[in-house]
A and B are shown apart, each in its own frame.
Chain A
Amino acid sequence: MAAGKAARAASRLRGGGSALPGLVAERVDPAFLTHALAGLPHGIVVVTGTNGKTTTTKMLVAILRRHGRTVFTNPTGSNFTRGVISSMLGELRLSGRLEADMAVLELDEAHALKFAAAVRPTHALLLNVARDQLDRFAEIDHTAKLLAELAGQTTTGVVLNIDDSFVSRIAGHVAGSGVEVRYFGVDPSIADRLPELQEADVRFEDDFAPPAPTASDGLLKPKDDRMFEVLFGDVPGSADNVGPLELKQRGLAAMINATAATTTAKLLLGNDFRADQAVAALEEVTPPFGRGEVIDADGQPLELVLVKNPVGFTVALGTYGSTPVTSMVAINDNYADGRDVSWLYDVSFESLRDKGVALTSGVRAYDMALRLKYDDVAVAEVEPDLDVALERFLTAYKDEPKRIFCTYTAMMALRRDLAARYGLANFGEEARS
């Protein structure tokens, strides 16, 4: 464990590398997780699925903390097992145990299972399944299977997306085990907006029918572009409902994440759950780094939007399409980005056509420019070097609002540059707030 702490200090000095010290500890002591998490009185919650993990985790933690719970979490978006260990190292007591009521952990689908092999979660929130980094997960069917296996490892309760048949059918895997099942989803009145949230082109009609939602299941009902309610029992005006409320983050995807977080918080808190506290907590949540975060760049807003798979990019283009601004797209193909960039051809970029794209950047800058060319989107400049591209983007378009769509490692690099330039908080510093 001392080895891990030293590595954490060393990697801090070098800047970045949020998973490195965890990697060291994982090698030193494989039972580390089990020991550190043993005995958290209010449980160990795993949040996983293809899209929305980081945002939803942040929202869930905010609601729980607002209710007075002490929560350990890994809010850096470092969602591999060793990322969890990394963030844990700073918070351990001398006994090697965590001082918290509960842990809420964002894990990617494969690492969620690895984690469960070491520590069985009490609860799991399963968000959705979509094409993502098929170089790592190979097939969507396989990803769905990983989530089902995780649900099978969960001891107390699971929260499932009722609208995603890959996820809602997981209820069958825990039937008869005594594990409680709750659902979140969209209110039937906005079912026509589901294509904004999930991909339809790889789904097939099947005979699976999700159950009718109960008063414990949260349903999203938007009032307009910004305001929405989470209905419990689907009765407008009921005191059980949460909202109306408005998030700092835009779009339907953020609203459904808030619905998932609220439903899960209600399961975890039981009778202690207070709708007004949930609203207050959600309205204060700032977008996580790079997930629609707005940075003040020389007096103009600069939005940083993480894109990592076809659904995510499509949702982002839909969310921001109504307010076109000068844009840059940065695509890397490191392991954490997904090494295969084929997925860019499963996204339609027509909404960028009117305004064009100022710059493409990253290791695959030319592939991105080529993709845009095939959608007749004009690209003013291609600059693979991220530092050079950012410098040019910020100076050439100084006096206007800007937006950067970027893959994970491109986002990390750009965020680091921006932090140095504008004096922003570094990754991980939110963890103890």
Chain B
Amino acid sequence: MSSTINSSSTNSRAQIKVVHIYPREMSIYGDLGNTRALASRLRWHGYEPVVHQHHPGNDFPADAHLVLGGGGQDSGQARVEDDLAHNADVLRALAADGTPMLMICGMYQLFGNAFITVEGERLPGVGILDVTTQGNAKRMIGPVVLETAYGDVVGYENHSGSTQLAPGQQPFGTVRSGMGNNGTDATEGAVTGNVFGSYLHGPVLPANPRFADALIKLAVERALGEPFVPGAIDDEIADQARTRQVRRLVRR
């Protein structure tokens, strides 16, 4: 079943279609907060967000301006595998065409080349990000601080997969505190074109508005073919939340 929720807006300039992929199966760690944050910020910037939830069994909307995905349980991943394979071509075409996407945790893994289980079974991914994830017995859990192109980014990781970037694959950030992709090479996440993968829950966008607005800028300019005109947003509370976490976690 698919559903589209029109968010009301008073001073809207144009509609931006935000698609959250598998909100039931793959968003148990608050990652729907990313979609909520983007919808609010789009509104505050003067655009009208249209949030669409994509559930398994439907055709993925090819007119998406921004695509978000989150983390789930192993049982949730199993429930979306078939649908993801069915819609892989549409997602790959959207990605190649420059559609901004943010895939967190489990969906980040599924956007890679493959996930190799502890038992050695190879589960193929969508292959948009050139990464491979190896299942581990031990989970990597805890608060994270990254250095990224959008400044310090804070969040929370909770994953058993250990992800390796292929040669030439750009990470999303460098770990200042926490484990990141694998706990060894100080990389976190992956970026290819406008597609971002990361392990950071938190959820990541509310406390990191610079990164959220970068995604919005990409979506708006792609949707409207004109420059993004940001509104005046007071991000003092988000900045406090973020800088306090950085101060707690990073030893200088």
Q: Given that A339-B142, A342-B203, A370-B206 are known contacts, is A139 also in contact with B74, CB under 8 Å in the complex?
A: yes
- Of residues 235 through 283 on chain A, the ones whose CB sits less than 8 Å from some CB of chain B are none
- B-facing mask of A323-339, CB < 8 A → 1, else 0? 00000000000000001
In the complex, what's the smallest C-beta–C-beta distance from B145 to chain A, in angstroms?
A: 14
CB of A344 within 8 A of chain B? yes
Compute how far the CA of A384 lies from the CA of B244 in the bound complex, rounded to whole angstroms.
Answer: 11
Whether A202 and B206, one on each chain, are in contact in the complex, defined by CB atoms closer than 8 angstroms, is: no
Compute how far the CA of A340 lies from the CA of B32 in the bound complex, rounded to whole angstroms.
Answer: 15
Instruction: Among B31, B73, B237, point to the contact of A141 (Cβ < 8 A).
Output: B73
- B-facing mask of A160-202, CB < 8 A → 1, else 0? 0000000000000000000000000000000000000000011
A310 closest partner in B (C-beta): B30
- Of residues 195 through 224 on chain A, the ones whose CB sits less than 8 Å from some CB of chain B are 201-202, 204
Whether B237 and A342, one on each chain, are in contact in the complex, defined by CB atoms closer than 8 angstroms, is: no
Closest 5 pairs between A and B when the two form their complex, measured CB to CB = A345-B33, A342-B30, A345-B30, A366-B241, A366-B240
Q: How large is the interface on A (under 10, 10 to 19, 20 to 34, 35 or more residues)?
A: 20 to 34
Q: Given that A345-B36, A370-B237, A382-B237 are known contacts, is A134 also in contact with B207, CB under 8 Å in the complex?
A: no
CB of A371 within 8 A of chain B? yes
Contacts of A35 in B (CB 8 A): none
Q: Given that A140-B73, A345-B33, A369-B237 are known contacts, is A374 also in contact with B28, CB under 8 Å in the complex?
A: no
CB of B156 within 8 A of chain A? yes
What's the dominant secondary structure at chain A's contact region?
Answer: helix
Instruction: Among A202, A204, A340, A370, point to the contact of B201 (Cβ < 8 A).
Output: A340
Instruction: Among A134, A346, A367, point to the contact of B32 (Cβ < 8 A).
Output: A346
Compute how far the CA of A140 lies from the CA of B71 in the bound complex, rounded to whole angstroms.
Answer: 13
- A-facing mask of B209-252, CB < 8 A → 1, else 0? 00000000000000000000000000001101100100000000
Given contacts A346-B30, A374-B36, A374-B206, 20 further A-B contacts (CB under 8 A): A135-B158, A138-B139, A138-B158, A139-B73, A139-B74, A202-B28, A204-B24, A342-B156, A343-B30, A345-B30, A345-B31, A345-B203, A346-B33, A364-B241, A366-B244, A367-B241, A370-B206, A370-B207, A371-B206, A373-B237
Contacts of B75 in A (CB 8 A): 141
- Of residues 343 through 395 on chain A, the ones whose CB sits less than 8 Å from some CB of chain B are 343-346, 364, 366-367, 369-371, 373-374, 379, 382, 384
Q: Given that A141-B75, A370-B237 are known contacts, is A131 also in contact with B244, CB under 8 Å in the complex?
A: no
CB of B87 within 8 A of chain A? no
